[in-house]
Amino acid sequence: MKILFDARVLGKQMHGIARYCLNLLQQLLAEDGDNEYLVLIGQAQIRERFIPSAPVRWIQTSIPLYSIQEQFLIPMRVRKEVFDLFHSPTYSIPLVLAKKGIITIHDLIHLIFPRDYSLGHRLFYRLIVRRAVSRCPKVFTVSEKSKDDIVSFLQGHKERIVITPNGLDPHWAPKPLDTEFNRRYGLDQGYLVFVGNPKPHKNFFRVLSAFEVLVKEDHYPGKLVAIGIPSQQLSAEVRDRVLCLPHSNDEDLGLFYSGAELLLAPSLYEGFGLPVLEAMACGCPVLIGNQGALPEIAGDIGLQVDPNQVSSIVNGVRQVLRNKTLSQKMREQGLNRAARYTWEKTAGTVLETYDSLNTIL
């Protein structure tokens, strides 16, 4: 088959969907000996991130992702190309190509929490995503929870939905103690870590409230490291105890995970929850919300709490901090759990899906 793979999401900002696209495409181009690839990219230097073994030709275009223009301009851009399948690792696909396409839906945050997103987001789901789901012969998603949500919110056909979870790069592994790193950020007394953003479903402000309780009532001596969170107006009690870092590179993030006493991830909803997987791979215990896909991803290794109750988050943290045997067990079992998620497995599922479509497209 000849696969037209839309990698326009790749750029300078490597958010979750871009990471999924990059790692999956790297694996496909490295191991696929049967198919040919045409790859849509937005920048020429994107090619430098790949060492392909499969036949590949790059098509550069400036047509923006998630735009009205792409519905018309992408089909025009590839009208002279011969391909059997259009694979989009994002929510977007030109509807005229959907009948021989695969769309990837990572979560349905915009529909589950509509008040947190614009009317434009909701219209995009209604006009583009819902129609694409009904037309595409296969839909990829990253978890069983997201699969159920696609059926419920977008009337997807369960038999067409294939789970292709995120994998982990080998660099997500326990890092040795780096005293200089800890000293730089003032983490010598221990710390808890949060990785996310300020959006309400990530639940940072309940995490912050729980931390304030731990400082006031338990006299917790350490800090809260909040990665992905801009500087906040903090109470006097915790003003010097919360480290807000809007960004972190993977090397530093691995050190933060490896040295933390606990990752706090009591999200109200996740379609997957990559930081939980990364933290477990680095030997960090994880506290998770009991909603969304996090219980599925972490299994019974993640300590589940009610994310709507600050008291539940506080009690969960206390349970881990006060029980060193439990903490060590969570670290060890988390490593084994994280090892299940590999890009090799995910790429294998994708290739099986390609093969299953070969006879019907």
Say whether pLDDT at 85 is over 90.
yes
Say whether pLDDT at 304 is over 80.
yes
% of the chain with per-residue pLDDT over 90:
87
Say whether pLDDT at 12 is over 90.
no
Say whether pLDDT at 29 is over 80.
yes
DSSP code for 126: I
The pLDDT of residue 237 is 82
pLDDT digits (tens, 9 = 90+) for 124-181: 888 899 999 999 999 999 999 999 999 999 999 999 999 999 999 889 999 999 999 9
The pLDDT of residue 285 is 98
Residue 215 makes CB contacts below 8 A (sequence gap 6+) with: 237, 238, 241
Question: Span 276-302, mean pLDDT?
Answer: 96
pLDDT digits (tens, 9 = 90+) for 204-219: 999 999 999 999 999 9
Torsion angle of the four alpha carbons 210, 272, 28, 158, in this order, in degrees rounded to the nearest 10: 180
Question: Span 109-117, mean pLDDT?
Answer: 85
Question: Span 220-247, mean pLDDT?
Answer: 91
Tokens standing for 286?
């994880």
Closest CA relative to residue 19, chosen from 250, 281, 284: 250
Domains of the chain: residue spans and CATH: 2-167+342-357 (3.40.50.2000), 179-338 (3.40.50.2000)
Say whether pLDDT at 26 is over 90.
yes
pLDDT digits (tens, 9 = 90+) for 255-268: 999 999 999 999 99
Cβ(290)–Cβ(307) below 8 Å: yes
Cβ(167)–Cβ(344) below 8 Å: yes
Beta bridge partners of 227: 195, 245
Say whether pLDDT at 13 is over 80.
no
Residue 286 pLDDT class (50, 70, 90 cuts): very high
